[in-house]
């Protein structure tokens, strides 16, 4: 394989020829650290498979079973799964038998949750890495940034995405989205309790992804928390250029006795962060920032594995 300055180029295969898998392929084709050698789908007439063939990528419409039969599959280092939570359980079992590392873009959560700027370095040795959800990739870095300065008693995120950017896979995984994201807010973000809400916005023309993060904390140094959030936004924007704050971080002091979402304690400070995620439009429309941040996070993970030679 072609050597890079800090690692090597790894060969990857993509399962899923829908919107996410195809956008991931376009991004990966621009990368200097990964080489796309195969794409698997289940629809022989899918746009994703047609585009892959035109770019010299080996294809199969027989899913993971077809993928493992393709010439050169033994040389694949990492398989990225952009199907659905249910399909991933089967795909992972097959890939495990072949000893392949997997980056999971579904909410299946077979492996540990990974949010690149928060905890990727701790999981570089894992066989299966789970990318949580689009809402998780957008908001968990912010929860973690706040938690790095003050304990977060409760964190709630609201991800609003264009209805037109939510394909069959996204719609089939709504329950998994909320459950997986809520758990990851706690396990990765560091909140004592977490809650996730997703809104499919039918507005026309479609609106780009908007995310709101609420963190309930005790007294804090507002300047320190705001600086931590800004630093994290810049880190995420390093691989998702359309990721940005919509306005300054807001702090609201809640008086004792006021009802809180936790139903357990009162008072404290509510930290509110408002985000916008615009897609890079490599394949998907710019308003589909929810899909763009998933594919960008997955590619970032694959490139980091290449850098360390994992």
**pLDDT, tens digit, for every residue of 4-17?**
444 579 999 999 99
Q: Which of the residues 24, 134, 150, 240 is marked catalytic?
A: 134
**Residue 168 clears pLDDT 80, i.e. is over it:** no
CB 167 within 8 A of CB 134: no
With cut-offs at 50, 70 and 90, classify the pLDDT of residue 1: very low
Let me know: does 127 contact 102? Beta carbons within 8 Å: yes
Which of left, alpha, beta for 257 (phi over 0: left; psi -120 to 50: alpha)? left
**Could you tell me if 120 and 157 lie in one domain?**
no
Quick check: 71 and 50 in contact, CB under 8 A?
no
171 is in an annotated binding site: yes
Using DSSP bridges, classify how beta strands 152-162 and 209-217 pair: parallel, antiparallel or unpaired. antiparallel
Q: Are residues 111 and 226 in the same domain?
A: no
We report the CATH number of the domain holding residue 191 as: 3.30.360.10
Q: Does residue 143 sit in helix, strand or coil?
A: helix
Residue 7 CA to residue 268 CA, distance in Å, equals 47
Q: What is the domain extent for residue 15? A: 10-131+292-307
**Beta-carbon-side half-sphere exposure of residue 166 (alpha carbons within 13 Å):** 23
Q: Tokens in use for 84?
A: 């659905």
Q: Taking residues 136-158, report their average pLDDT.
A: 97
Tell whether 163 and 112 lie within a shared domain: no
pTM: 0.93
The pLDDT of residue 247 is above 60? yes
Catalytic annotation on 215? no
pLDDT band at 169 (very low <50, low <70, confident <90, very high): confident
Does one domain contain both 108 and 93? yes
Establish whether 87 is an annotated binding residue.
Answer: no
Contacts of 84 (CB under 8 A, 6+ apart): 106, 169, 172, 173
- Would you say 129 and 115 are in contact if contact means Cβ atoms under 8 Å apart? no
**99: pLDDT strictly greater than 70:** yes
172 known ligand binder: yes
Residues 157, 174 within the same domain: yes
Instruction: Tell me, rounded to whole angstroms, the distance of Cα 53 from its chain centroid.
Output: 26
């Amino acid at each position: 394989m072609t050597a890079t300055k800090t690692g090597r180029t790894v060969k990857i295969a993509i399962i899923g020829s829908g919107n996410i898998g195809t956008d991931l392929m376009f991004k990966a084709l621009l990368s200097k650290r990964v080489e796309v050698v195969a794409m698997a789908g289940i629809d022989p007439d899918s746009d994703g498979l047609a585009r892959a063939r035109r770019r010299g990528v080996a294809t199969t419409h027989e899913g993971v079973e077809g993928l493992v039969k393709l010439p050169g599959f033994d040389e694949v280092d990492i398989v990225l799964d952009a199907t659905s939570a249910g399909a991933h359980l089967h795909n992972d079992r097959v890939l495990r038998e072949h000893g392949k590392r997997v980056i999971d873009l579904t909410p299946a959560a077979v492996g540990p949750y990974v949010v690149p700027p928060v905890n990727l370095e701790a999981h570089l040795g894992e066989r299966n890495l789970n990318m949580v959800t689009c809402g998780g990739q957008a908001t968990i870095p912010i929860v973690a940034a706040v938690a790095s300065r003050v304990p977060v008693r409760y964190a709630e995120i609201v991800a609003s995405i264009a209805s037109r950017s939510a394909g069959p896979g996204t719609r089939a995984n709504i329950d998994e989205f909320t459950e997986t994201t809520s758990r990851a807010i706690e396990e990765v973000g560091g909140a004592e309790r977490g809650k996730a809400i997703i809104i499919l916005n039918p507005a026309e023309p479609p609106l780009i992804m908007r995310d709101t993060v609420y963190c309930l904390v005790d007294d804090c140094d507002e300047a320190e928390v705001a600086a931590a959030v800004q630093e994290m936004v810049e880190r995420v924007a390093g691989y998702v250029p359309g990721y940005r704050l919509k306005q300054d971080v807001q702090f609201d002091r809640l008086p004792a006795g006021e009802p809180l979402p936790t139903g357990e304690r009162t008072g404290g400070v509510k930290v509110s962060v408002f985000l916008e995620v615009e897609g890079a439009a490599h394949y998907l429309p710019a308003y589909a920032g929810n899909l763009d941040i998933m594919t960008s996070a997955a590619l970032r993970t694959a490139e980091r594995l290449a850098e360390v030679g994992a």
